[in-house]
Amino acid sequence: MSTYHEVRRLAESLTPDEQMCLIEDLSRLIRQRVTMTPKPKRSILELEGLGKEITEWS
């Protein structure tokens, strides 16, 4: 049995209050991971050449 399915089965055996606490804890954990993950830095130079075909007249 996969870990996900085992955890899911265990979560289903919790009381509704315990399930809500689990959801809150997991949400907090996920939120922390998302905010701690560094986003790639972007550069204005990435825009170079975009729209070039609009300004070129045939």
Contact between residue 19 and residue 11 where contact means Cβ atoms under 8 Å apart:
yes
Q: Residue 25, Cβ neighbours under 10 Å: how many?
A: 10
Question: What is the band of 1 on the pLDDT scale with cuts at 50, 70, 90?
Answer: low
Question: What local confidence, expressed as pLDDT, does residue 11 receive?
Answer: 97
Question: What local confidence, expressed as pLDDT, does residue 56 receive?
Answer: 65
Question: What local confidence, expressed as pLDDT, does residue 17 receive?
Answer: 98
Reported as a single tens digit per residue, the pLDDT across 7-35 is 999 999 999 999 999 999 999 999 888 88
- The predicted model scores a pTM of 0.56
User: What radius of gyration do the chain's Cα atoms show?
Assistant: 23
Written as six digits, the tokens of 8 are 């899911």
Dist. CA 50–CA 44, nearest whole Å: 11
